Amino acid sequence: MRILAFESSCDETAVAVVEDGRRILSDQIASQIALHSRFGGVVPEIASRAHAEAIVPLTEKALACAGCTLDDIDAIAVTHTPGLLGALLVAVGFAKSLAYDTGKPLVGVNHVQAHIAACYLAHPELKPPFLALVISGGHTALYHVSDYTRFTLIGTTRDDAAGEAFDKVGRVLGVPYPGGKTLDEMATRGKCGTYTFPPPLVKDSPLDFSFSGLKTAVINRLHNDRQKGEPIDPDAVAADLTEAVVSAIKNRLENALKLYPESQLVLAGGVSANSHIRKGVGALCEQKNVRLFLPPLSLCGDNGAMVGAQGYFDFMAGKRDGITLNAFATGHSC
Ligand code: KG4
Ligand code: ZN
């Protein structure tokens, strides 16, 4: 069963061909980072225009690299929520017209659920049930996954996502956008304990996250030190920020494992590439005798293959969308 999958929810246009939800035949990504970096963040209108320019040649390339034509494709999958509305609409509109033209079935996929499905591509032995935490630039979602298409959202963020905190602190430190990866490297060099940042925990809500207070505390400290002419140690800032994020993630996951005692945990999304988070959550899982599944670094960020994987399982569960499929900026069907 071959799925042609599309992703345009943020700043990557991605098209993939995936077989049986587990095997990548082709995974093409056109990144827009160079377009947005001079603004220090994603500019939605620029993102939509770049998706519109990239999607046709990228589809041709994805099919060619998979050694396929449209005739070899059994169904079409597309991210339709959550994300930037104008950006989502590009792939949704394109996938709908392709499905209409070819008569192939169409499946709308939830982007956050697709991040989890990236692990099916790398780990053939992974099967639900499990707990899954998706941490990215725009999303924070803790799910109990009882089946391939059954997700119960048990925790989320009250405000910002972890990636937002890394990227905005990165911007104030003068690190190129998006700052997450560079801050990861800086935190490896930096010494913990120079700065004291508040742990980002939500009181009375053991599975929820909050990264906005932490982000603001770090940025305020940087501005204050600059105004007073105090020296700043950027590596130490990255180390203490990362330490606070890792401890919050471990704390919430420990609470979740108590309430939902599963023996498998999936960590996914762009921020799951963070080496310190991988190490910290790895240590927690070892201590709790839980098997940790991580996507390879190439599948942590946005990609089309993860949409093809989740699209396959949605399709097998009977999900079908037609010409009325719409894009939704916030977590429709989460
Ligand atoms: O999943 P993704 O590509 O897009 C969203 O769905 O939001 O995630 C992008 C985010 C950015 O905030 C980026 O800075 C962050 O993932 N990121 C990292 C690392 N690599 C990417 N954050 C921390 N450490 C990393 N190594
Ligand atoms: Zn994403």
Looking at the CA of residue 301, tell me the nearest atom of ligand 1.
Answer: 3
Looking at the CA of residue 162, tell me the nearest atom of ligand 1.
Answer: 12
Give the pLDDT confidence score for residue 334 in this predicted structure: 38
Distances (CA, A) of 279 to 77, 115, 214, 246, 272: 33, 20, 21, 9, 10
What the block records as the tokens of 137 is 């630039």
Which pLDDT tens digit goes with each residue over 105-140? 999 999 999 999 999 999 999 999 999 999 999 999
Is 295 a pocket residue for ligand 1 (Cβ < 6 Å)? Answer: no
Work out the pLDDT band at 68, boundaries 50, 70, 90: very high
Site to substitute for ligand 1 among 113, 134, 181, 189, most atoms within 8 A of C-beta: 181
C-alpha to C-alpha distance for 77 and 315, rounded to whole angstroms:
9
Collapsed DSSP state (helix, strand, coil) of residue 268: strand
- Exposed/middle/buried for 169, CB within 10 Å: 0-12, 13-18, 19+? buried
Residue nearest to atom 13 of ligand 1 (CA): 180
> What ligand has the least distance to the C-alpha of 269?
1
The length of the chain in residues reads: 334
Is 11 a pocket residue for ligand 1 (Cβ < 6 Å)? Answer: no
Ligand 2 centroid to residue 125 C-alpha, Å:
23
> What ligand has the least distance to the C-alpha of 163?
1
- Exposed/middle/buried for 191, CB within 10 Å: 0-12, 13-18, 19+? exposed
Is 301 a pocket residue for ligand 1 (Cβ < 6 Å)? Answer: yes
- Is 48 or 40 the better-scoring residue by pLDDT? 48
Which pLDDT tens digit goes with each residue over 253-285? 999 999 999 999 999 999 999 999 999 999 999
Is 180 a pocket residue for ligand 1 (Cβ < 6 Å)? Answer: yes
Give the pLDDT confidence score for residue 257 in this predicted structure: 98
Ligand 2 centroid to residue 10 C-alpha, Å:
8
Looking at the CA of residue 115, tell me the nearest atom of ligand 1.
Answer: 1
- Position 333 pLDDT exceeds 60: no
Under DSSP, the state recorded for 42 is -
Mean pLDDT of the chain: 96
Work out the pLDDT band at 40, boundaries 50, 70, 90: confident
> What ligand has the least distance to the C-alpha of 136?
1
Q: What is the pTM of this model?
A: 0.96
Give the pLDDT confidence score for residue 332 in this predicted structure: 54
Which pLDDT tens digit goes with each residue over 198-249? 888 898 999 999 999 999 999 999 999 999 999 999 999 999 999 999 999 9
Ligand 2 centroid to residue 47 C-alpha, Å:
14
What the block records as the tokens of 82 is 């959550």
